[in-house]
Amino acid sequence: MAVRTDVTIDFESSPRIITVAAPSVEITMQDLVDTVRTIEARADAIDNDHVLDAAGKQSLGGGVLVGITVTLRNAKLAFEARGGPTYEQCNISGGNLVAVDDVGSPMSPIEPTAFTQIVLANSSSATLSELEAIQYSSYQNAVWVDVIDGMSGTDYPSGTREFPVNNIPDAVSIANTKGFDTLQILGNITLTTGDDLPSFRVVGRSPNLTVIVIEAGANVINCEFSSAYITGVLDGNSIINQCVVGDLYYVEGAIRESMVNGTIQLGGTAPAFLFSIVGGIPAGNPTVDYNGSSQGLVVRGYHGQLTLINKTNAGSDSLEWDSGELFIDSSCTNGSVHVHGVCEVFDNSGPGCSVTAEDVVSPVSIANAVWDESLTASSHNIATSAGRRLRQLASAVVHEGTAQGAGTNNNQIQLDLAASSVDGAYDPSLLCITDGTGAGQTRLILEYDGATRTATVDRSWKVAPDATSTFVISGHPGREHTNEGLAQGGSANTITLNSLASANDDEYVGMVVSIRSGTGEDQACRIVGYDGTTKVATIARDWNVVPDTTSAYVILATSVLDLARYAGIIASSVWGAVSEGSYTYADLLKIISAALAGKLSGAPSGPIVIRDVNDGKNRITATVDANGNRTGVTLDVSS
């Protein structure tokens, strides 16, 4: 007795399904009987009608036994579905297997499942089952077709897996007689005129092993094609399912859960449907050619690349992508294409074709959404986040907008109406023209008139801004001057500062006033006088060009050195510095001068006296010994 642990029974369905779990690919009649009997004996299954009857193994003498024949009672045997795309052969051996439905009529004992191919090795020694049931089960719920190695005819065993037929009319005749709706294709086949197979399921071995060519003359109304490479004509509301699709002329039907590797040419009137499609190798250039037809296109769940060409109808098409790329050719010149989902759209459509992809998710749209996201008070403001960092950078931006024009002078710009109406709001700040006329220029705002929105900058424009110029104003990183602005006027040796200048007299004396732009630009001079009431600063020399009301200036805290004023102080500091002991550099110079040029007396016996160079006093007095060596020195460095 061999009881299998990978076998389950669904008692709730009708017929009941006995399933052999993957990855098992075979079961014997004896194992089936033993396992089902064990499951039926369980407490949770004891109330169910028994699932099978079995007979056989009677001795015929000489050690020969009758084979087991198993009759499934309103039940079918299935192997668990596989993931594909290739089929997996599963074997049932060790006797005969038949089935009857809930009223006792014969039916197939096999329940088909995805990507499994059942081989039932019946025993010829069965004696308890009817021959018709045995024959029925040998078809495995389909008529088998092999146009190369098959046979003609409709009598049993023609059309079984072991003896496939070689033509469609015979296959259809057998199927209609036996009640089958499936044609299992071995190898390749061309469906042509005279092949009438409406409402049949046409199943290949796999897209790699079966090529089905559908010609226009074949009657394939309401057919479903699966597990094959399909090319030719799709018409009659047929469905292509789990196939690879090559070049196809699309009249009516649907393609689903398949791969497109060629050109689908539209030619019907009802919309073409592509559901859960994968675009093949990009080099294969999967394409939908509208071919100038009025046929619409509906795509759902597309993965990969697809190109649209020759759309000239006025229809509105809806395309939904799961991932990939959509290319719209310039030959698309009419109608509308609405794209949704995860897709990068390359729109090269011609005039007249409207392409909308507002809600498409792609690398480009994700990047655009990130950069266009509004930073509100609380959004994207987590510490150390990119949003916080951008917010911190943006905090330096005081204002941005599009200029109204250049202002009155070439060192001015008139900001937008949304700019501040407060005088001096932006001085000093940096203004950069970011786009439009004059883009790339940066200037320091020296004065701002809130009423006219006019900013005066520190240098004349190389290219004057206009109403196309966009700008950004950012805070100035540091202020190197004590006052700046637009002059109120000037004379030969004066300049009248703006109204914001200091009210204290002589506040700017010693500092430098520099004309940065406007009349007299690039001049600088030291301020020697300042009237806080009139704002008039007097300079140390006359201007080469007298400033006026267009002159923008800055006052620098750095003063120009007055040598005439400070020369004596500097000299006294240098010569008065102590060099050695208590003697300054001036004292040592007096001693050196006397030693070199003063009168000397008392030599050689001493005391030796050296006078200063003016012969006004004894500068050096020295006592000496018998050998003339100095034993004492007195210095007088007084004036």
Query: If you average pLDDT over residues 198-212, what whole number do you get?
Result: 95
Tell me which range, 306-320, 545-559, 595-609, is most confidently predicted by mean pLDDT.
306-320
- Whether residue 482 is predicted with pLDDT greater than 50 in this model: the reply is yes
Q: Cα separations (Å) of 359 from 268, 338, 344, 356, 430?
A: 30, 10, 11, 9, 39
Q: What are the pLDDT digits (tens) for 423-441?
A: 988 888 889 998 999 998 9
Are 635 and 619 in contact by the 8 Å Cβ rule? The answer is yes
Q: Which residue has the higher pLDDT, 56 or 302?
A: 302
494-496 and 536-539 beta bridge pairing: antiparallel
Instruction: At 398, give phi and psi (nearest 5°).
Output: -85, -40
More confident residue, 2 or 117: 117
Contact 214, 189 (CB under 8 A): no
Q: Pick the residue with more confidence: 360 or 238?
A: 238
123 has a pLDDT exceeding 70: no
* pLDDT level of residue 562 (50, 70, 90 thresholds): low
95: tokens are 């006797």
The string of DSSP codes covering 30-88 is: HHHHHHHHHHHTSTTTTTSPP-EEEE---EEETTEEPPEEEEEESEEEEEPPP--SS-E
Question: Could you tell me the two tokens for 211?
Answer: 């090529």
H or E element, residue 568? helix 563-575
Tell me the average pLDDT across 510-518. 89
For the chain, give the percent of residues with pLDDT over 90: 55
Least confident of 38-52, 322-336, 456-470: 38-52
Distance CA 396, CA 565 (A): 44
Mind listing the pLDDT tens digit for each residue in 370-402? 777 777 667 777 777 777 667 666 667 888 999
Q: Which helix (H) or strand (E) holds 579?
A: strand 578-580
Whether the per-residue pLDDT at 107 is higher than 60: the answer is yes
Mean pLDDT (whole number) for 160-182: 94
- Residue 563: the pLDDT is 53
Give the mean pLDDT of 175-194. 94
404-414, pLDDT tens digit by residue? 998 888 999 99
In terms of Cα–Cα distance, which of 531, 425, 451 is closest to 488? 531
Average pLDDT over residues 69-90: 92
Residue 243, pLDDT > 80, answer yes
Answer whether residue 561 shows pLDDT above 60: no
pLDDT at 60 > cutoff 60: no
Residue 46 has pLDDT above 50, yes or no: yes
Q: What is the pLDDT of residue 130?
A: 45
Q: Which amino acid, one-letter code, is at 17? A: I
Determine whether 296 is exposed, middle or buried from the number of CB atoms within 10 Å of its CB (0-12, 13-18, 19+).
buried
Contact between 24 and 10 under an 8 Å Cβ cutoff? The reply is no
Confidence of residue 594 (pLDDT cuts 50, 70, 90): confident
Encoded amino acid at 507, one letter: E
Q: Cα Rg for the chain, rounded, in angstroms?
A: 52
Mean pLDDT rounded to a whole number for the chain: 87
pLDDT at 312 > cutoff 60: yes
Question: Tokens representing 136?
Answer: 């029925």
Is the predicted pLDDT of residue 316 greater than 90, yes or no?
yes
Ramachandran region, residue 76 (left: φ > 0; alpha: ψ -120 to 50; beta: rest): beta
Beta strands at 224-226 and 201-203: parallel, antiparallel or unpaired: parallel
pLDDT band at 126 (very low <50, low <70, confident <90, very high): very low
| 303 touches 294 (CB < 8 A) | no
Whether residue 452 is predicted with pLDDT greater than 50 in this model: the reply is yes
State the pLDDT at residue 5.
92
pLDDT tens digits, residue range 532-543? 999 999 998 999
pLDDT average, residue stretch 272-279:
92
| pLDDT over 70 (residue 109) | yes
Q: In this model, does residue 598 exceed pLDDT 90?
A: no
As a whole number of angstroms, the longest Cα–Cα distance in the chain is: 167
Segments of 198-335 assigned E as strands: 201-203, 211-214, 224-226, 229-234, 238-241, 244-250, 253-256, 259-260, 263-266, 272-275, 278-279, 287-289, 297-309, 316-328
